Amino acid sequence: MTVSETLVTYASLRADESVREMLMAADAQMAAIGYTEHGVRHASKVAETAERILAELGRYDEREIELAKIAGLLHDVGNVISRATHAMSSALIAFDMLRERGMPLAEVTQVMAAIGSHDEAEAGEPTTDIGAAVIIADKADVARERVRNPVMAAFDIHDRINYAARNTQLSLPSDESLIVLEMEIDTEIGSVMEYFEIFLDRMVISRKSARMLGRDFRLIINDVPLM
């Protein structure tokens, strides 16, 4: 069957009721197993941060940036099936969603590659600049509002670290060859060592992604450079 091709945008997908329903269903799966928020808020945050990374680097055209936003929006939709191998299932679901809406195959493959490589737990590796931007944006979303457990005494380590994050800023200093993730953590809630316990692999893949984009990655917690 021939697919009628059209220009698919981040805005049209984010407003699409079917897409939003899938994202909410994926997040419901995460809630059921005790994970932090992985729904429309997280997806939108990753999309918009990936957009900002590529825009600030200044060497990507508008459509490449738009594809990064689309990949960011859909990168976790595979959680609707299972957390296990969700990067792969997200990429496959994205294929169907985007082709049904008329996206050219040459663009769909770029989005699929970015989504499929984003998860460090599945041996993910940045393979494209679009994917590298999505990876960094995903790992940088550490925020109190992602915690849905209302009982602090029942927090697991992921809850504690997200809840402890008072402020998180990702920047690309114009006078340096760096991408900088700067965090302020309330150490009475979660320790820096706990952060490294669960985030080291995420920081390693972030560094690989930054290097793909021609920069190095720096993590600063409570004003102390750590990598």
Question: Looking at residue 195, what is its pLDDT?
Answer: 80
Task: For 160-225, give the DSSP string.
Answer: HHHHHEEEEEEE--TTSSEEEEEEEE-TTTS-HHHHHHHHHHHHHHHHHHHHHTT-EEEEEETTEE
Question: Looking at residue 1, what is its pLDDT?
Answer: 40
Question: Looking at residue 23, what is its pLDDT?
Answer: 98
Question: Looking at residue 107, what is its pLDDT?
Answer: 98
The pLDDT of 167-179, averaged and rounded, is: 93
Q: What is the mean pLDDT of the chain?
A: 92
15: confidence class by pLDDT, cuts 50, 70, 90 = very high
Cα 171 from chain centroid (whole Å): 16
3-state secondary structure 36-83: CCCCHHHHHHHHHHHHHHHHHHCCCCHHHHHHHHHHHHHCCHHHHCCC
The pLDDT of 113-121, averaged and rounded, is: 92
**Backbone phi, psi, residue 221, to 5°:** -120, 125
Q: Which CATH architecture has domain 10-225?
A: Orthogonal Bundle (1.10)
For tokens 């940045």, the residue is 126
Beta strands 178-185 and 165-171 are antiparallel
Question: Looking at residue 3, what is its pLDDT?
Answer: 59
* Burial status of residue 47 (CB atoms within 10 A of its CB: 0-12, 13-18, 19 or more): buried
The pLDDT of 76-80, averaged and rounded, is: 97
Share of the chain above pLDDT 90, in %: 74
32-76 pLDDT, tens digit per residue, is 988 899 999 999 999 999 999 999 999 999 999 999 999 999 999
Q: Which one, of 148, 142, 149, lies nearest residue 194 by Cα?
A: 142
CB atoms within 10 A of CB 151: 7
**Residue 124 clears pLDDT 90, i.e. is over it:** no
Contact 171, 219 (CB under 8 A): no
End-to-end Cα distance, the chain? 50
Lowest pLDDT segment from 23-27, 37-41, 174-178: 174-178
8-state DSSP, 128: S
Q: Which helix (H) or strand (E) holds 91?
A: helix 86-100
What is the residue extent of each domain of the chain? 10-225
> What is the spatial distance between Cα 203 and Cα 226, in angstroms, rounded to a whole number?
11
> What is the spatial distance between Cα 209 and Cα 130, in angstroms, rounded to a whole number?
10
Question: Looking at residue 153, what is its pLDDT?
Answer: 62
133-155 pLDDT, tens digit per residue, is 999 999 999 999 999 886 676 67
The pLDDT of 1-18, averaged and rounded, is: 85
